[in-house]
Amino acid sequence: MDKLLDSFAKDLNAGYPGTAIFFGEPMSRHTTFRVGGAVSLLAEPKSIEAFVWAVRELRRLDLPWMVLGNGSNVLFSDGPHRLVVLGTSRLDTVRLSVDSMIPGAGVLLSRLGNAALEAGLTGLEFAHGIPGSLGGGIYMNAGAYGGEIKDVVESVTFLAPSGTLRTVSGADCGFSYRHSRFEDSGDVILSATLRLRPGDPAAIRARMDELSRARREKQPLNYPSAGSTFKRPAGDFAARLIEEAGLKGVSVGGAQVSEKHAGFIVNTGGATYDDIIALMDEVKTKVYLNSGVILEPEIRIVP
């Protein structure tokens, strides 16, 4: 694998100068949980063309690989991982028109919210404060405070496993609660067109400020985490069930069920993958024994 990796990195760099390439890069540096061991290679192509070339080449070489957005919903094991990670952070251009925007997959939702505010466009306020990228947000239909990505996606351009570039309408993205077709398909999201509406900048700003305040009040933003650990079960809230099972503040090593918001597992310092997984297992078991509800992880786990 090492020789193949070397030649992949050399060709990527030669064909597409400006790609950032890191060998043996710890994923703790690229995830909001601040946990995760080294991957064989992290590459961050700077253009869609470079990204498409890299994906096609990795498939041709049959090397294991995955896509990473802003790393805010993913937990890597302590590794090492024989894996190539393609990061989208440099697919970061945003094109604006009167009532729409076309961002690259790596643009952060927070930046999109601010760009919409500056352009006087409404519809993205809900996403202000979700610390993910557009691609990661579409992948799992991120949402908050009554809004979801699906409400603003007009179309998505992606690379299919066959190696072809395709565009589908938002209606064909298979969106449901914290889910899209991209979770099952192996497609790589490259960009999207978002449909927004002209709005009053003062009202947009006020709503964004209100949501930021709500997050600061309710969420343990002073500790690394990956947001809500478990999906919301039908008709209930994971945090409520976890609290009711007496788990608020319970720790395993450096991982703790947040005392501020029981839906979050936080890294209070030096948490390992095993700590977090053991705590998630304990939470699942105790919630099931207490309420009969089976919690499902919302975070993506890379063992």
Ligand X SMILES: Cc1cc2nc3c(=O)[nH]c(=O)nc-3n(C[C@H](O)[C@H](O)[C@H](O)COP(=O)(O)OP(=O)(O)OC[C@H]3O[C@@H](n4cnc5c(N)ncnc54)[C@H](O)[C@@H]3O)c2cc1C
The question of whether 155 is a catalytic residue gets the answer: no
Contact region with ligand X (CB under 6 A), list: 60-68, 241-249, 268-276, 289-297: 60-68
CA neighbor of 156 nearest in space, from 192, 125, 121, 186: 192
CA neighbor of 258 nearest in space, from 221, 215, 209: 221
Distance CA 69, CA 61 (A): 23
Q: Which of 34, 228, 232, 258 is catalytic?
A: 228
For residue 80, say if its preceding peptide bond is cis, omega within 30 degrees of 0: yes
Q: What are phi and psi of 239, to 5 degrees?
A: -60, -40
The question of whether 213 is a catalytic residue gets the answer: no
Tell whether residue 123 is a contact of ligand X (CB under 6 A). no
Distance of closest approach, residue 46 Cβ to ligand X, in angstroms: 15
Tell whether residue 188 is a contact of ligand X (CB under 6 A). yes
Chain positions 198 to 217 lying near ligand X, rule: CB under 6 A, are none
The smaller minimum CB distance to ligand X, of residues 52 and 120, is found at 52
Chain positions 231 to 270 lying near ligand X, rule: CB under 6 A, are none
Tell whether residue 66 is a contact of ligand X (CB under 6 A). yes
Tokens of 166: 């395709």
Please pick, from the candidates 8, 65, 76, 139, the single residue that binds ligand X as defined by CB under 6 A. 139
The smaller minimum CB distance to ligand X, of residues 115 and 120, is found at 115
* Residue 22 exposed, middle or buried by CB count within 10 Å (0-12, 13-18, 19+): middle
The smaller minimum CB distance to ligand X, of residues 111 and 286, is found at 111
Q: Which helix (H) or strand (E) holds 82?
A: strand 81-87
The question of whether 100 is a catalytic residue gets the answer: no
- Tell me which amino acid residue 98 is: V
Q: Please list the alpha-helical segments (H only) found in the chain.
A: 2-15, 48-61, 109-118, 134-139, 182-185, 201-218, 238-244, 273-291
Contact region with ligand X (CB under 6 A), list: 9-17, 205-213, 219-227, 286-294: 219-227
Please pick, from the candidates 112, 226, 255, 287, the single residue that binds ligand X as defined by CB under 6 A. 226
Q: Which of 178, 180, 191, 258 is catalytic?
A: 178
The smaller minimum CB distance to ligand X, of residues 19 and 133, is found at 133
Q: Which of 243, 244, 282, 298 is catalytic?
A: 298
Answer for the pair 259, 249: CB distance below 8 angstroms, yes or no. yes
Long-range contact set of residues 238-242: C-beta below 8 Å, sequence gap at least 24: 238/262, 238/263, 238/287, 238/295, 239/263, 241/287, 241/290, 241/291, 241/293, 241/295, 242/283, 242/287, 242/295
Please pick, from the candidates 40, 122, 157, 225, the single residue that binds ligand X as defined by CB under 6 A. 225
Q: Which residue numbers are catalytic?
A: 178, 228, 298
- Contact residues for ligand X, defined by CB under 6 A: 32, 66-74, 88, 105, 130-133, 135-137, 139-140, 142-144, 182, 188-189, 219, 221, 225-227, 300
